[in-house]
Amino acid sequence: MSSATIPVIAIDGPSASGKGTVAALVARALGFHYLDSGAIYRVTAHAGQRAGVSLDDESALATLARGLDLRFDGVEVFLNGEAVGDAIRTEEAGRAASKIAAMPVLRAALLERQRAFRRAPGLVTDGRDMGSVVFPDATLKIFLTASCEERAKRRYKQLIEKGFDANLAALFEDLSERDARDAARAVAPLKQSADAVLLDTTGLSIDEAVQQVLRDYRAASAV
Ligand code: CDP
């Protein structure tokens, strides 16, 4: 199978919209591979901080990104063979990822690495530019969102469940800021592409969102 014929479901959207959870469940339902592209930005920022590279040094970060020894196993992420899942899931790691994600040279360095995840029988991936830049020929593109209040509540619940400290008002502020930065950046800004289906999950359960994506996928692959 040439890689261009391998189906891809690209799910893009703002922070804490639930796209990662939905994407992983859709991948499981279809028996497809799953790529959490945000984790790649998070690991890159983490690796940079560990190596003492400034988060403003675009060319050093791009060089580091090209040579990153990164492996996914289910939801766990390994950097140089070490599990870094917990370290990269903090709000601070998210802010660092969002900062370096605005750098065009770094994004270009990560492009082929992301495309290599397109393997049979198919791929479900989530991020900001999966449908617009990384997999423009995706079988189905979804823009998954929810109100900022709802997303702040979901992120709060997620952090508390993991045993982290969390403050709802601070999370709301942080998400609004991150949305604004992701949407305003010059390269691969967060926005719904014309050919993406909008899925607003504000009043939906995770299962309802998953079922909707599966219905859209069946419809898209039937044409
Ligand atoms: O879960 P959350 O949306 O907060 O974070 P994430 O999806 O893990 O992504 C972390 C950051 O990486 C985001 O704030 C984006 O700035 C950036 N990102 C991106 O620019 N492009 C992607 N394809 C994925 C993430």
Nearest protein CA to atom 18 of ligand 1, as residue: 38
Number of structural domains found in the chain: 1
Q: Does position 186 have pLDDT exceeding 90, yes or no?
A: no
Q: Does position 90 have pLDDT exceeding 60, yes or no?
A: yes
Q: What's the 205 CA to ligand 1 centre distance in angstroms?
A: 22
Nearest protein CA to atom 10 of ligand 1, as residue: 38
Across 4-18, average pLDDT: 93
Indicate which CATH number applies to the domain containing 102.
3.40.50.300
Is the minimum distance from the CB of 42 to ligand 1 under 6 angstroms?
Answer: yes
User: Does this model's pTM top 0.85?
Assistant: yes
User: Which atom number of ligand 1 is nearest to the Cα of residue 134?
Assistant: 23
Range of the domain at 110: 3-221
Nearest protein CA to atom 17 of ligand 1, as residue: 98
d(CA 102, CA 129): 12
